[in-house]
Amino acid sequence: MFTRRKIGTVACAAAMAAAVAHFDGAAVANAAPQCPGTYVVAVPGTWETSNSEPEQGMLAMITDNLRGDVRTDYVHYAATAFPWEGEVYGRSKAEATDRTRGLVAAMARECAGTRIVLLGYSQGADAAGDVAAEIGTGLGPAAPAQVALVGLISDPKRSPTDNLVGPAVVGAGAGGPRIGAFGWVSPQTYTFCAVGDLYCSMPSGDFAGRIAGLAAQLSNPDPTKIGDYQQQAGALLGDVLAAGGIGLLSDQLNNTAYEQRRRQIDDFVKSGIHQSYPNYAVGGGATPITWLRQRLVDVTR
């Protein structure tokens, strides 16, 4: 039989239990996010991944089985087309860039103390490099000081002034160099380009190839970068005029030149140069893969 005192005791206990449950729920809801010491965003290259089949590609050799407090996310996107194949490349790259930016922004917002690493290969380097450049010039989703490493393999927007690791190569990326470069993250940014890789090493005198690369970048234009596009087009036109004028460009765009271009691209694809980076020597017995792996291990210590 319950007395008034027992009823009061039971009610008090129930109230305390409810309060504890509420407190615990609030504590879980307000718990700090699990912030890794290092956050790696890896953007695979053309044909290495897709939205339907999200594979990791070449960059997995850099990021797999890292020790320490490291989290790695791979960016999944359409990943289609060579830079000179037109509209599809522009849309695919924009998707990769947006997703990379979103991942970095989310981590930077929740974990200001986490070191951020950006890795990209081929079309993925195009996207990762653009996000790194945004951060380095103060327009990106994270503070420049938060970026510990940027590694770009076969970057279609490589500049001759970028920090190239390995043998010297001619020209610049097929898409033309980034206006403004990498700003405050330049010391942490490294680029790798195999001799003969047309993605990242389009000869400066190959104006038809440079126009095709710029056209691919413009196939899905970003309205906020109109000024950059104008500067790139102006620089290209200036180089054409300095080299011999519009007549020279016409010679590179006639039917004979077109056939030569087709054979050049076919030979390039068959050569395997663009896929050679796991074995391409950059000095000291290292390849781009082993070099970036060691640098990433150093960052995560």
* SS3 assignment, position 193: coil
Q: What is the dihedral of CA 175, 90, 42, 286, to 10 degrees?
A: -30
Given a contact cutoff of 8 angstroms between Cβ atoms, the answer to whether 113 and 142 are in contact is no
The pTM score is 0.76
What token pair was written down for 35?
A: 């912030």
- The CA distance from 134 to 181, in Å, is 9
Q: Is residue 33 part of a domain?
A: no
Q: Is residue 79 part of a domain?
A: yes
Given a contact cutoff of 8 angstroms between Cβ atoms, the answer to whether 127 and 43 are in contact is yes
Q: Sign of dihedral through CA atoms 223, 225, 227, 228?
A: negative
Residues in the chain with pLDDT < 50? 1-32, 85-87, 241
> Radius of gyration over alpha carbons of the chain, in Å?
25
Q: What is the pLDDT of residue 253?
A: 55
CATH code of the domain in which 248 resides: 3.40.50.1820
Domain containing residue 124:
38-300
Given a contact cutoff of 8 angstroms between Cβ atoms, the answer to whether 158 and 177 are in contact is yes
Q: Is residue 150 part of a domain?
A: yes
Q: Is residue 241 part of a domain?
A: yes
Q: What is the pLDDT of residue 13?
A: 44
Opening angle at CA 55, ends 51 and 57, nearest 5: 125
Q: Is residue 122 part of a domain?
A: yes
Q: What is the pLDDT of residue 60?
A: 95
Task: Domain count for the chain, please give it.
Answer: 1
Residue 177 DSSP label: P
Q: Is residue 237 part of a domain?
A: yes
Given a contact cutoff of 8 angstroms between Cβ atoms, the answer to whether 135 and 105 are in contact is no
Q: What is the pLDDT of residue 6?
A: 40
Q: Is residue 31 part of a domain?
A: no
Q: What is the pLDDT of residue 10?
A: 40
Q: Is residue 11 part of a domain?
A: no
- The DSSP result for 213-224, as a single string, is HHHHHTTS--GG
